[in-house]
């Protein structure tokens, strides 16, 4: 080996860099993705209906109202079919402008986790942060609803950040280690 080849031979510290990249990028990115997904799906506020309830919605965007057909809420188990009775009325009003927001019927999205099942009812746009009053009437017995901001943007950005980080760790780190082994052994790639 001549002097020029010795200069480009990577030191052993690059093994440590590869291992750290593997665990921080690969495992860390994957764990971060899972934690973000869990926190996103557990967001929202549950409440009993029929009722009139005022919410402070801090971020503009699309909000979705869910029917928690099977759930445990405030020490009690609730279990209903996915369909609400036909005489249920839902109204959302901006308390500042007294404008009634347009409700868009849902596409029957469903979430389930263990014994918990939730079905989307409708969505509505919020143009500005503020107080909004939700009124649900026409139910003969208490049901549990959840209101939360649409998750599509949050899920997209979480995936946009976490997937590349994980790929760098899971694929980039092993490639880096193979290159280091080859360079240190003096073999050409």
Residue 19 has pLDDT above 90, yes or no: no
Q: Which residue has the higher pLDDT, 98 or 17?
A: 98
Residues 75, 26 within the same domain:
no
pLDDT tens digits, 145-165 = 999 887 777 778 878 888 888
Residues 105, 128 within the same domain:
yes
Q: Distance between CA 80 and CA 12 in Å, rounded?
A: 62
Residues 80, 164 within the same domain:
no
**Residue 107's pLDDT is what?**
77
Residues 101, 124 within the same domain:
yes
CATH of the domain at 97: 2.60.120
Q: Is 178 helix (H, G, I), strand (E, B) or coil?
A: helix
Residue 168 is given by DSSP the state: I
* Rounded average pLDDT over 169-189: 81
pLDDT tens digits, 38-97 = 776 667 889 999 999 999 999 899 999 999 999 999 999 999 988 888 889 999 999 999
**Residue 2's pLDDT is what?**
55
Residues 136, 89 within the same domain:
yes
**Residue 131's pLDDT is what?**
95
Residues 62, 143 within the same domain:
yes
Helices (H), the chain: 3-7, 13-21, 29-41, 152-167, 173-185
Distance of CA 167 to the CA centre of its chain: 20
Residue 99 has pLDDT above 70, yes or no: yes
Q: How far is CA 159 from CA 16, 30, 125, 189, in A?
A: 27, 10, 24, 33
* Rounded average pLDDT over 122-144: 94
Residues 101, 146 within the same domain:
yes
Q: Find the Cα–Cα–Cα–Cα dihedral 132, 107, 36, 81, rounded to 10°.
A: 90
Residues 28, 64 within the same domain:
no
**Residue 42's pLDDT is what?**
67
- Domain encompassing residue 57: 45-150
Per-position b or e across 28-53, b if 16+ CB within 10 A of its CB:
bbbeebeebbeeeeeebeebbbbeee
**Residue 8's pLDDT is what?**
64
Domain count, the chain: 2
**C-beta of residue 79 within 8 angstroms of C-beta of residue 139:** no
**Residue 136's pLDDT is what?**
95
Q: Which residue has the higher pLDDT, 32 or 94?
A: 94
């Amino acid at each position: 080996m001549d002097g020029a080849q010795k200069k480009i031979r990577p030191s052993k510290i690059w093994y440590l860099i590869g291992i750290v990249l593997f665990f921080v990028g690969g495992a860390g990115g994957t764990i971060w993705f899972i934690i973000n997904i869990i926190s996103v799906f557990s967001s929202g506020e549950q409440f009993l209906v029929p009722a009139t309830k005022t919410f402070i919605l801090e971020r503009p965007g699309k909000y979705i109202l869910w029917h928690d057909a099977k759930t445990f809420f405030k020490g009690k188990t609730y279990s209903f079919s996915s369909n609400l009775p036909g005489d249920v009325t839902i109204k959302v009003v901006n308390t500042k402008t007294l404008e009634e927001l347009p409700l868009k019927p849902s596409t029957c999205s469903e979430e389930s986790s263990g014994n918990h099942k939730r079905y989307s009812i409708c969505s509505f746009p919020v143009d500005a942060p503020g107080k909004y009053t939700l009124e649900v009437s026409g139910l003969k017995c208490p049901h549990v609803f959840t209101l939360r901001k649409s998750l599509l943007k949050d899920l997209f950005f979480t995936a946009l950040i976490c997937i590349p980080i994980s790929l760098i760790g899971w694929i980039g780190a092993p490639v880096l280690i193979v290159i280091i082994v080859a360079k240190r052994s003096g073999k050409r790639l």
